[in-house]
Amino acid sequence: MHEMAITQSVVQAVCERMGDAPVRRVCLEIGTLSGVVADSVRFCFDLVTEGTTLEGASLEIVQPTGLARCRDCGAEFALADLLVLCTCGSANRELLAGEELKIREVEVLA
């Protein structure tokens, strides 16, 4: 259950970047291969934001899906999980998307 620590990191980072400005909306990118469960972050968000400038803010989570390029044959293919091989049989792949774990933007009172 690292989502609590992850959500605390979000709140800490937003507070550091935005100072005292009340935050109305937070948009996160959590890739489907990031190892972080978006629903758990949603669950933690209200608890963790209580008493901070983020209290009452809405939470949007964008979830990019997995995409990889095969280092052997060059094909690009979708990854539902980290075990999917290229159609050529190779596991040697470069992940292009799906591992995102970042704060995309916030909306604050002007």
What residues contact residue 91 under an 8 Å CB cut-off, 6+ apart? 85
- The single-letter code of the amino acid at 78 is A
CB of 110 to another protein, least distance (A): 5
CB of 90 to another protein, least distance (A): 8
The only residue of 38, 61, 67, 85 in contact with another protein, by rule CB under 8 A: 85
What residues contact residue 93 under an 8 Å CB cut-off, 6+ apart? 68, 69, 70, 71, 77, 79, 86
5 binds another protein (CB under 8 A): yes
Name the burial class of residue 28, with classes exposed (0-12), middle (13-18) and buried (19+) by CB atoms within 10 angstroms of its CB: buried
81 binds another protein (CB under 8 A): yes
**Contact code string over 8-47 relative to another protein, x by CB under 8 A:** -xx-xxxxxxxxxx--xx--x----x-xx-----------
Contact 36, 2 (CB under 8 A): yes
Instruction: Point out which residues bind another protein (CB under 8 A).
Output: 1-2, 5-6, 9-10, 12-21, 24-25, 28, 33, 35-36, 81-83, 85, 90-92, 101-110
